[in-house]
């Protein structure tokens, strides 16, 4: 499940215009997934399914985000 969720999240991020260095989901320790890159202030870590939900529901397109940075605390507050 987690590998599929990570792959799906990365596919969504590519569709939204993000390069991997700017925003991508990576496998983390103990079955967690990490949303990290140049467009987020610090990594967002949680279960892969929740990270996929964050990417699909809360992460704007690269064009909409512009020069701003995502903040993990803001993403959590919107869940």
pLDDT of 36-48, one tens digit each? 999 999 999 999 9
Residues 6+ apart with CB under 8 A from 48: 1, 2, 3, 5, 6, 9, 25, 27, 31, 32, 33
pLDDT of 23-33, one tens digit each? 999 999 888 99
Hunting for tokens 């964050």 — which residue is that? Answer: 54
* pLDDT of the residue at 37: 98
């Amino acid at each position: 499940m987690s590998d599929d969720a990570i792959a799906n999240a990365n596919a969504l991020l590519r569709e939204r215009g993000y390069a991997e260095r700017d925003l991508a989901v990576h496998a983390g320790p103990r079955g967690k997934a990490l949303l990290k890159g140049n467009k987020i202030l610090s990594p967002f870590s949680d279960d892969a399914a929740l990270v996929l939900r964050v990417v699909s529901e809360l992460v704007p397109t690269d064009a909409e985000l512009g020069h701003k940075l995502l903040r993990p605390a803001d993403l959590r507050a919107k869940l």
